[in-house]
Amino acid sequence: MPSNVEIKAKVSDLTHIGEKAATLSQSEGTIILQHDTFFNCSNGRLKLRDFMDGSGQLIFYERPDTDGPKLSRYSISPTSDPQSLQTVLSDALGVKGEVWKERRLFMIGQTRVHLDTVRGLGHYMELEVVMRPEQTVEEGQRVAEELMEKLGVSPESLVTGAYVDLILDGHEET
C-alpha cells in the first residue's frame, strides 16, 4: 500500500505561503476544486473525492490523529462517475460528513504542498511527503519538518485529524 508522511496546519495568510511555495516549486501551482464525501467505515477513512468535472477518486486511508508529521497509508481508485458512486456508497454505508474546498497544489521535490480554503473552516496547508520504497518514516518526517521551516509554518499551527473531523467537531472559520 502506498504511503506518505503528512502534516496539516491552520494558516492565516495563504498568499504569503503561496508565494514561498511558488518560489520553491518554480510554478504557480494548480487550482483544484474538490468535494469530499466521507462514508462510515469501521477502520480508517473512506472518502469519495469529486473533482466536479466528471472525474473522481475513491480513497481509503489510515493515519493516526496526531499533530506533527505522521505516516498515512492509502489506496486510490479512479472513477469517471463520482455522483453515481456517491449514491451507491451513501446507500450502503451512510455518510459521515462532507468537505468542500479549493486547493492550490504545488510539487516541491517529493512533496505535495496543498494550500486549502475549506468551506466553513478557513485556510490550511497540508504537506504530503510521498514516500519512496527505500525511505524510512523518520526520513519522511525530516523532509516535512524542513519544508515547514522553509514555508514559515510553525509547529504551534499544526492540527490533528481530517477536515471532516474538524467540521464534525464544530470548528469554525476564524
Looking at residue 143, its pLDDT comes to: 97
Is the residue at 174 inside a domain? no
173 domain residue, yes or no:
no
Residue-level pLDDT at 173: 78
Distance CA 89, CA 37 (A): 10
Answer whether residue 135 is part of any domain.
yes
Report CA-CA distances (Å) from 39 to 19, 61, 128.
35, 12, 22
Give me the domain span that covers residue 107.
Answer: 3-168
Instruction: Report DSSP state, residue 138.
Output: H
- What CATH number should be reported for the domain holding residue 156? 2.40.320.10
- Give the distance from CA 146 to its chain's centroid: 19
* Whole-angstrom distance, CA of residue 134 vs CA of residue 142: 15
Give per-residue pLDDT as tens, 34-84: 999 999 999 999 999 999 999 999 999 999 888 788 899 999 999 999 999
The count of domains in the chain is 1
**The pLDDT of residue 172:** 78
For 13-39, give the secondary structure using H, E and C.
CHHHHHHHHHHHHCCCCEEEEEEEEEE
Cα 74 to Cα 63: distance, rounded to the nearest angstrom: 9
What mean pLDDT, rounded, does the chain reach?
Answer: 95
* List of residues 6+ apart from 145 with CB closer than 8 A: 69
Residue 174 has what pLDDT?
A: 61
The per-residue pLDDT for 81 is 97
Segments in the chain below pLDDT 50? none
CA dist., res. 73 & res. 102, Å (int):
24
Q: Does a structural domain hold residue 130? A: yes
H or E segment and range at residue 61: strand 56-62
pTM score:
0.92
- In a domain, residue 95? The reply is yes
Whether 164 contacts 99, CB under 8 Å: yes
